[in-house]
Amino acid sequence: MSEKLNFFKLFSALNNKKVRYLVAGGVAVNLYGIERATGDIDIVVHLERHNLEKFVEVMKELGFKPKIPVLLEDLSSKQMREKWVREKGMKVFSVYDPQNPYFLLDVFVEEPFDFDKVYEERKIIKAGSVRIPLVPIKRLIEMKKKVARPQDIADVYYLRKIEKEWGNE
């Protein structure tokens, strides 16, 4: 991709291919209105094979490469994901833009929740013409409590404040 990639282009490309995904992590926290630095984009992609194939197609079109020495297509294989979890303790499959190696996308290799249910509860944020599906605040809080790093604990505090302000959305 000749033009520098940003997350609006990424989300727009995923939306155009009708990939079912939810933004999590620090970017979701930012989009809920909490300012804080983050070094990557965390997303939960529905791990259904056809959906993953569409996701991989978008990654190839945008020029993303895996951080580890495997094929992008390996993400579509349930057996490969299970092997990575079992043998390497992998939580996320990381891909990056070679033209901007700091543009890092982390994809959960196991769904941290019932995807279909949470997808129905998703919060859509509009950024210009791009609709960005977020993990709902309640679920994001649950995810962050499980990890419990200092930044996640701080995120939980601020997300709860937002949740109260918005009336439990």
- Interacting residues of 62 by C-beta distance below 8 A, sequence separation 6+: 1, 5, 9, 10, 13, 97
Q: Assign domain 7-162 to its CATH architecture.
A: 2-Layer Sandwich (3.30)
pLDDT at 18: 98
pLDDT at 92 over 80: yes
Tokens at 165, concatenated:
């302000």
Q: How far apart are the first and last CA of the chain?
A: 37
Please work out, in degrees rounded to the nearest 5, the angle formed at the alpha carbon of residue 92 by the alpha carbons of 90 and 98: 120
What token pair was written down for 167? 């009336």
The shares of helix, strand and coil residues in the chain, as percent rounded to the nearest 5, are: 50, 20, 30
Tell me the torsion sign for CA atoms 147, 153, 155, 159: positive
Query: 150 or 70: whose pLDDT is higher?
Result: 70
Tens of pLDDT along 127-140? Answer: 889 999 999 999 99
Q: Is 112 exposed, middle or buried (0-12, 13-18, 19+ CB in 10 A)?
A: middle
Task: Name which of 60-69, 93-102, 141-150 the model is least confident about.
Answer: 141-150
